[in-house]
Amino acid sequence: MNYNEMLAVAFAEAQAGFNEGGVPVGAALFDADGKLLSRGRNRRVQDNDPSVHGETDAFRKAGRQTSYRDKILVTTLAPCWYCSGLIRQFNISTVVVGESVNFTGHLDWLREAGVKIVELNDAACIDLMSRFIAQSPQIWFEDIGEGCC
Ligand SMILES: [Zn+2]
């Protein structure tokens, strides 16, 4: 599976989240051979749980892994501090980012730690998040922690 095919899995999660009225960020975890280990999406709204970001949802659903140095985390949007911390804590080696236009995240902080960042600048990811921010700005600013954490 190539990076764009991996992103398609994460994007399907983001689209599902959007359709549910949630924050449309999806993610998936793959092994080094491109085998899908798990997938997930932000469920802040759906579950009333601010700790369920796309990345953390996929991470938890993958269960215990002996190492993350050979894992690939794919996310539709550049990771926030919370998810960036998770990536560094568990030494996830590669992060594929659908887009960093609507939210720049902290990609340099990840690169400094030796994380390989693959930016796809995907038009569908940019468009979906843009539509969500225009439609539900208050949920978006809550999600990125402006004024809450
Ligand atoms: Zn996050």
> How much distance in Å is there from the Cα of 56 to the middle of ligand 1?
7
**According to the model, what pLDDT value does residue 148 have?**
43
What are the tokens at 85?
A: 């911390």
User: What burial class does residue 8 get, using C-beta atoms within 10 Å of its C-beta: 0-12 exposed, 13-18 middle, 19+ buried?
Assistant: middle
| pLDDT of 121 higher than 90 | yes
The whole-model pTM stands at 0.95
Once rounded to an integer, what is the mean pLDDT over residues 122-135? 97
Question: Domains (ranges, CATH) in the chain?
Answer: 3-144 (3.40.140.10)
Query: What is the 3 state secondary structure string of 70-113?
Result: CCEEEECCCCCHHHHHHHHHCCCCEEEECCCCCCCCCHHHHHHC
> How much distance in Å is there from the Cα of 10 to the middle of ligand 1?
14
> How much distance in Å is there from the Cα of 54 to the middle of ligand 1?
7
- The residues carrying an active-site annotation are 55
**Do the Cβ atoms of 113 and 88 come closer than 8 Å?**
yes
The 10s digit of each residue's pLDDT in 44-102 is 999 999 999 999 999 999 999 999 999 999 999 999 999 999 999 999 999 999 999 99
Distance CA 86, CA 113 (A): 12
> How much distance in Å is there from the Cα of 32 to the middle of ligand 1?
23
Ligand 1 (ion): residues with CB under 5 Å are 53, 80, 82-83
| pLDDT of 15 higher than 70 | yes
Mean pLDDT of the chain: 95
